[in-house]
Amino acid sequence: MYSPPSMKWTRNTPNTSTNIPFYRPPPVVLPPDIREESRPAEKVRMTLPAEGSEEYQEVLASLRLSDKIHIMGFTREARYITYCLAGTPELPPAQLLAQHPNILTKWGREGRQLTVYTPKGPMPSRDVIMPKYIGPPRGTSRNATEFTRLQHISNLLISTFDGSIYTTLLHMRDYIDQDTTICLLNEGLGVVEHLNEGIFTDPDTRPNYVLGHVDYMLATKRQIGDFSMDLKAPGKMYLTALPRESPGESLVSTRPRVVGRARAQHLIKLLCQTPGLDAGGFPMSLFLRQKLPSMVFSSLTDAISVALGCQYDRISTSPYAVGLWHDLLDETVTVIASLPEFKEHPDALEYFTGRRFKDDLFAKLRNKRGASTWIARVRTGMQLPMPYLNGWFVKKAKENGVPHSAHNTLMSMVRTRHEARMEELKGQIPMYVYKTDGDLTNPDEDGQNMVPIRYVYITKNK
């Protein structure tokens, strides 16, 4: 092997290759006492290329971004989003993912269309493709080949009850990877951490996340069908993309971060261009400004309603319940004020720390009537969204070193009531059902459209 004259093989070794071109001297092995210590390779932090740079554009040019959107859930919001996407001919047909097989029956019975009614009258009905059942086969006559298997999912919108998100995505794990973007439109926060800890444990293959919040005023027109909705007032969709986590603390992989950001922004772009959704992308602080008020109200009002076993109007009239409500609100505001996301936008934090926020919440409480849907879930032994509401506030309080005793006490009271009800259900046999006013149970898939039924039980002989 010929080597250039300027190449040195080892330290202090004469370069004999200048005289004998095809001779390569053996390396000199130094004794251990004079060997140079090997230095560990320094970890170099790779920064994210600036948007618009040549490297950034080169990465984006190699991507294949899909416009196909899957929607998991059958909430009013999920159906309305599907309706809006169905009216956008530039996009592929949106695919509803049904967690109950009866949704397929309703789809065929109601003309395979979605209809939205407004105060001015009905909007044009829009065809939707057949929902795809993603649950386990039911009944002895069903076999595993009855339902079509899913293909890779590029964009997934989730609008369903918080307690069913984890189990459903666990079943869909094989169709989701680092090229998937999941948009969570659930009621609370903290679902992303739960999914990453239990399902998407590998940072290299976990999906990209977008957090969402909608404030459309919708109602189901049950006298017509579940595929018909009342749009009482239009609203907005608030979206924020979460940065992709790096596998290590000091090494940041440039390409996964660029690709993940591009895929998340692509889904946000698709939703923003869909007429009727009125969607927009926001930084985290402004997103929390819109998301937290409803979370605070539910974590206080619904949790107190379950813990005390009372309806909404009782909370606003009982001095003891009102005192508990205000104590929880003060503690929650302290937690919100400690969030680092508001440091860049202190004006967004002023709303929560000012008097207006508390007045708005209490006015909403005084206008609330009836029973909390949480009570119905406790009676039927279903899961509550508390881990992603009260639990999220407690987690943030621990991280930022602020008090959270009031929320801890309330969560213990609700869990105790829920566990006691579960023990009752284990020792009872349902005999028949009858309807009664004010008792909302037997929820459908989204946990919001509930049929008023009460179960009557007979205790088993022991």
Which has the closest alpha carbon to 306: 181, 414, 190? 414
In angstroms, the Cα distances linking 202 to 155, 246, 247, 301 are: 19, 11, 8, 37
For residue 57, what pLDDT band results from cuts at 50, 70 and 90?
low
264 and 338 housed in the same domain? no
Asked whether residue 166 is assigned to any structural domain, the reply reads yes
* CA–CA gap between residue 413 and residue 373 (Å, rounded): 17
Residues 320 and 449 in one domain: yes
**Cα angle at 159 between 154 and 160, to 5 degrees?**
120
Question: Which SS3 state, helix, strand or coil, does residue 51 take?
Answer: coil
**In this predicted model, which residue has the larger pLDDT, 142 or 239?**
239
Which of 254, 282, 310 finishes a domain? 282
Does 9 have pLDDT greater than 60? no
Quick one: 272 and 291 in the same domain? no
Between 256 and 326, residue with greater pLDDT: 326
**Same domain for 337 and 245:** no
Q: Does 298 share its domain with 196? A: no
Question: What is the pTM assigned to this prediction?
Answer: 0.78
Query: 329: domain CATH number?
Result: 1.10.1040.10
Q: In terms of DSSP H, where are the helices of 309-427?
A: 312-317, 319-337, 346-353, 355-366, 373-379, 390-400, 405-426
Q: Domain check: are 136 and 232 in the same one?
A: yes
Q: How confident is the model at residue 56 (pLDDT cuts 50, 70, 90)?
A: low
Does 50 fall in a domain? no
Domain count, the chain: 2
- Has residue 37 been placed in a domain? no
Backbone angles phi, psi at 316, to 5 degrees: -80, -15
Per-residue pLDDT, averaged over 72-76, amounts to 91
How much is the pLDDT for 343? 85
Are 114 and 240 in the same domain? yes
Rounded-to-integer distance, Cα 194 and Cα 191, Å: 5
Instruction: Write down which residue in 247, 282, 317 finishes a domain.
Output: 282
- For residue 116, the cross-strand partners are 229
The residues near 145 (Cβ < 8 Å, ≥ 6 apart) are none
338 pLDDT above the threshold of 90: yes
Predicted local confidence at residue 70, as pLDDT: 96
Same domain, 305 and 232: no
In a domain, 329, yes or no: yes
d(CA 2, CA 201): 50
Does 232 share its domain with 367?
A: no
Counting residues of the chain whose pLDDT is more than 90, the rounded percentage is 45
pLDDT, tens digit (0-9, with 9 covering 90-100), for 220-267? 877 788 888 889 999 999 999 998 875 544 334 567 788 888 899 999
11: in domain: no
Q: Is residue 342 part of a domain?
A: yes
More confident residue, 343 or 176: 176
Asked whether the predicted pLDDT for residue 120 surpasses 60, the reply is: yes
Do the domain assignments include residue 32? no
Quick check: 432 pLDDT over 60? Answer: no
Question: By the 8 A CB rule, do 304 and 409 touch?
Answer: no
pLDDT tens track for 42-52: 333 334 445 55
Given a contact cutoff of 8 angstroms between Cβ atoms, the answer to whether 252 and 246 are in contact is: yes
Confidence grade of residue 383 (pLDDT, cut at 50, 70, 90): confident
Check whether residue 131 and residue 236 sit in a common domain: yes
Of all residues in the chain, the percent with pLDDT exceeding 70 is 74
Indicate the angle between helix axes 284-308 and 355-366, nearest 10 degrees. Answer: 40
- Cα–Cα distances (Å) from 6 to 23, 146, 363, 456, in that order, read 15, 72, 84, 94
pLDDT at 442 over 60: no
> Whole domain around residue 211: which residue ranges?
69-282
Indicate the average pLDDT of the chain.
Answer: 79
- pLDDT tens sequence across 264-320: 999 999 999 999 999 999 999 999 999 999 999 999 999 999 999 888 989 988 899
Residue that finishes a domain, picked among 223, 253, 282: 282
Closest Cα partner for 148 from 168, 133, 163? Answer: 133
Same domain, 238 and 304: no
**324/245 same-domain check:** no
Structure-derived torsion over alpha carbons of residues 94, 99, 103, 105, reported in degrees to the nearest 10: 110
Burial class (CB in 10 A: 0-12, 13-18, 19+), 328: buried
pLDDT in tens, 91-116: 999 999 988 888 888 888 888 999 99
Residue 265, domain CATH: 3.40.50.720
For the stretch 115-138, what's the b/e string if a residue is b when 16 or more beta carbons lie within 10 angstroms of its beta carbon?
A: bbbeeeeebebeebeebbbbeeee
User: Is 21 domain-assigned?
Assistant: no
Q: Which burial class, exposed, middle or buried, applies to 22 when counting CB atoms under 10 A from its CB (0-12, 13-18, 19+)?
A: exposed
Q: What pLDDT, on a 0 to 100 scale, did the predictor assign at position 54?
A: 62
**Tell me: the pLDDT tens digits for 356-372?**
999 999 999 999 888 88
